Structure 1
Amino acid sequence: MAEHEVDYEGLSPNAGLGVNMAAGALAGITEHCVMYPIDTMKTRMQVIAASPAAVYTGIGNAFTRITSTEGARALWRGVSSVVLGAGPAHAVHFGMYEAVKELTGGNREDVQNQWISTSFAGAAATISSDALMNPFDVIKQRMQMHESQHRHMIACARTVLRTEGIGAFYVSYPTTLTMTVPFTAAQFTVYEQVKAALNPSGAYSPSSHVIAGGAAGAVAAAITTPLDVAKTLLQTRGTSPDPQIRTCRGMLDAFKIIWTREGAKGFVRGLTPRVVTHMPSNALCWLSYEFFKSTIRS
């Protein structure tokens, strides 16, 4: 083997906290930036709009109308918030995941039911990373909305803070955790199981990371879409002219509003772009994570 090549099989399952955090940060930024336009469409599809002009019926409809009336740049509005938040949030996410997985024995081959370790590690990673990412996500969605007046991240943050208080940045945090804990647990569990099935030898195989990551993202995104709809309502409530939405206090209130206004179909708004976003983005995230992890390690 050439000296510059990485012996992937020779790497420790836990490559070190610093390596895992750096790899996670780079992977998170890569993932979010590549799929950001589809995330913008998803946000607009999930918002309960007061005007028919703000109602989007699908990815194709959203793309055509946004680019034709606002220009392609509108699809990227708010991406700076993601770049700034995703790095540290994903660094904490992957660092916590690997640390807890090591602590609970998930990296030892002699431990049975390793999926319990990976699920617990994934949940712990989410709780910590979402505490950092939630305010950035609120800013992102405010900037993504139809006819949003916010063009700069700092100005948006100041406006939200001045008009709604600091609570606006965390009103969706319980809902976010309710959604992302099962999302992450499902994602990591599916990823580890599919990766092990496709590549039982543990040899470096980008294709297995891509397939396992894509499958994990699709499954996790689909089963948590109803919670994501509620989260979007809470994070964008301050921009709504509807008094009931503006005073929505939490997940249960959001569920009641969605059920009353749209019934069961309201809970699957944005399902397609959410799956379309998470399937390739998770594949890219895991591929990037494994690549950066091995590269930094070398």
Structure 2
Amino acid sequence: MDFVIGGLAACGACVFRGQHAIFYKNVFHAGWVVAKNEGLRGLQKGLGPALLMHTMRNSAVTSGYTKKGYLTDEKGKTILYRSALAGAATGCAGAFLGSPLFLIKTQLQSQAAKEIAVGTQHGHSGAFQAFRGIYSQYGIFGLWRGVSGTLVRAIVGSSAQLTTFALTKDILNNYEVFRSHPVANSLVSSVVGGVFQTVMMTPFDLVSTRLYNQGVDASGKGVLYRGLTDCFIKIWRSEGFFGFYKGIGANYMRLAPHGALCLVFWDVLKDVQVKYIDTRENRY
């Protein structure tokens, strides 16, 4: 049931949040340019694979992260290192499962009208065609191309987000107003978690996106970066430290609303589950 709840929470977050646009001058300019050239549907490119990806990834993350008796002490307080380890492990598992969908989502969202196209354009007509085309040309391993980048991205991001979310909830529970309004507690805690997640994950998110979206040769190998380490080194040498934080504003606007909605939905659905179980037990 925890697996299902995690997936439903992620779907709810995806539907209400939408997808971020390509970063041009800034996130607002990018949204205006994409909408002007491709319409509102252009802002929702890749929504289908994004829903499936987040369902798979968040189901693995939240169901694994909530195992009882490991993350908290006898007083119910979050144990920092255990939370960080659990977030990293479950994030890694979810990222591996969802990597093919992340690859397809990234390539679909990178496609643009000729007037505003930047970077590699893969020419996919849709999610199913992208999946079939990549598999037929490069095999099963082609669908997991760039997985090293998203694994590190997820390890860092999930650990930072879930740990700060849990710790903030513990702190806010010391105040009556938040004990009386658990949804408000979840919302504020998720916003804090989103800030830490964005700061920690943005460099790895940038590297992961470049690995996924780079062109490939006939054997399916990237033409710009040989792998995770090579990508980090080349960005550092050519763009410096701040090159890893390009688009951090747009990244926050993408990650924070999704994370906030997902974690709030997760808490609400967990409460519904607990009440349902209690009702059944009292009935019998």
**TM-score by structure 1 length?**
0.80
Offset of 1:232 from its aligned partner? 0.5
Asked if structure 1 preserves the Cα contact closer than 8 Å seen for 2:162 and 2:193, the reply is yes
Asked if structure 1 preserves the Cα contact closer than 8 Å seen for 2:57 and 2:91, the reply is no
Matched, 1:132 2:114: no
Offset of 1:293 from its aligned partner? 1.2
Asked if structure 2 preserves the Cα contact closer than 8 Å seen for 1:184 and 1:220, the reply is yes
What is the rounded CA distance, in whole Å, between the counterparts of 2:37 and 2:231 in structure 1?
30
> What's 2:133 paired with?
159
What is the rounded CA distance, in whole Å, between the counterparts of 1:294 and 1:264 in structure 2?
43
Asked if structure 2 preserves the Cα contact closer than 8 Å seen for 1:23 and 1:290, the reply is no
The one-letter amino acid paired with 1:215 is V
With over 3 angstroms needed to count, the CA separation of the structure-2 counterparts of 1:58 and 1:163, relative to structure 1, is farther
Comparing 282-291 with 167-176, greater Cα deviation is found at: 167-176
Which of 232, 240, 256 matches 2:233?
256
Offset of 1:265 from its aligned partner? 3.2
Offset of 1:181 from its aligned partner? 1.1
With over 3 angstroms needed to count, the CA separation of the structure-2 counterparts of 1:245 and 1:262, relative to structure 1, is farther
With over 3 angstroms needed to count, the CA separation of the structure-2 counterparts of 1:33 and 1:246, relative to structure 1, is farther
Offset of 1:35 from its aligned partner? 2.5
Q: Deviations over 1:179-233 (max 9, x none)?
A: 2212111111111111111123755511110000011011111222111111001
Asked if structure 2 preserves the Cα contact closer than 8 Å seen for 1:31 and 1:282, the reply is yes
What is the rounded CA distance, in whole Å, between the counterparts of 2:72 and 2:196 in structure 1?
24
> What's 1:118 paired with?
83
Asked if structure 1 preserves the Cα contact closer than 8 Å seen for 2:13 and 2:261, the reply is yes
Offset of 1:134 from its aligned partner? 0.9
What is the rounded CA distance, in whole Å, between the counterparts of 2:147 and 2:15 in structure 1?
22
The one-letter amino acid paired with 2:35 is T
What is the rounded CA distance, in whole Å, between the counterparts of 1:185 and 1:246 in structure 2?
31
Which of 246, 256, 263 matches 1:269?
246
Task: Mark the runs of 5 or more structure 2 residues left unpaired by the alignment.
Answer: 113-120, 277-284
1:85-104 → structure 2 map (5 Å cutoff): 85-99=53-67, 102-104=68-70
User: Tell me, what secondary structure is at the counterpart of 2:259?
Assistant: helix
The one-letter amino acid paired with 1:90 is N
Task: Mark the runs of 5 or more structure 1 residues left unpaired by the alignment.
Answer: 1-17, 46-55
The one-letter amino acid paired with 1:87 is T
With over 3 angstroms needed to count, the CA separation of the structure-2 counterparts of 1:264 and 1:119, relative to structure 1, is closer
The one-letter amino acid paired with 1:96 is G
The one-letter amino acid paired with 2:146 is S
What is the rounded CA distance, in whole Å, between the counterparts of 1:141 and 1:250 in structure 2?
17
Asked if structure 1 preserves the Cα contact closer than 8 Å seen for 2:146 and 2:227, the reply is yes
Q: How many percent of aligned residue pairs carry the same amino acid?
A: 22
> What's 2:4 paired with?
22
User: Tell me, what secondary structure is at the counterpart of 2:19?
Assistant: helix
> What's 2:281 paired with?
none
Matched, 1:188 2:162: yes
Q: Deviations over 1:270-295 (max 9, x none)?
A: 21011122222211111100111111
> What's 2:13 paired with?
31
**TM-score by structure 2 length?**
0.83
Offset of 1:32 from its aligned partner? 2.5
1:167-246 → structure 2 map (5 Å cutoff): 167-200=141-174, 205-238=182-215, 246=223
1:51-90 → structure 2 map (5 Å cutoff): 56-90=24-58
The one-letter amino acid paired with 2:171 is A
Q: Deviations over 1:80-103 (max 9, x none)?
A: 10122322322221111112xx25
Offset of 1:112 from its aligned partner? 7.6
Asked if structure 2 preserves the Cα contact closer than 8 Å seen for 1:214 and 1:281, the reply is no
> What's 1:284 paired with?
261
Asked if structure 1 preserves the Cα contact closer than 8 Å seen for 2:78 and 2:166, the reply is no
Structure with higher RCO (Cα < 8 A, 6+ apart): 1
With over 3 angstroms needed to count, the CA separation of the structure-2 counterparts of 1:191 and 1:113, relative to structure 1, is closer
With over 3 angstroms needed to count, the CA separation of the structure-2 counterparts of 1:153 and 1:279, relative to structure 1, is same
The one-letter amino acid paired with 2:260 is A
Asked if structure 2 preserves the Cα contact closer than 8 Å seen for 1:234 and 1:248, the reply is yes
